[in-house]
Amino acid sequence: MNQQFATLKKAIEVFHTYGITLAGARKNDHFINHLNMDPIFINGLIFELEYQLQLVIQEEKLSNVKTPKELIELLLQIPQHN
């Protein structure tokens, strides 16, 4: 459980560097339609999350991710090694 908290804390920091607020309903905003993010910035966000959390997200799992909440849920499902 502590590992998930650490993951969540790091992920929130990365989202904030991209100007994405995860409070309230904003976590359900679509990356492109509501947050007006260019796909290159979405890829940058994903790369930064992978780098900061020291994990690799499988490409096929990313195809269904459209919101910050979905991305965080995916991150928390990936097993992490200490």
Do the domain assignments include residue 82? no
Residues 51, 37: Cα–Cα separation, whole Å: 20
Structural domains in the chain (count) = 1
What pLDDT sits at residue 73?
93
Q: What is the pLDDT of residues 3-33, one digit of tens each?
A: 888 889 999 999 999 999 898 898 999 999 9
Do the domain assignments include residue 62? yes
* Domain residue limits at 36: 2-77
Do the domain assignments include residue 25? yes
Closest to 27 (Cα-Cα) out of 73, 76, 78 = 73
CATH at 19? 1.10.1200.10
What pLDDT sits at residue 78?
85
What pLDDT sits at residue 82?
45
With H, G, I as helix, E, B as strand and everything else as coil, classify residue 6: helix
Range 55-71 average pLDDT: 93
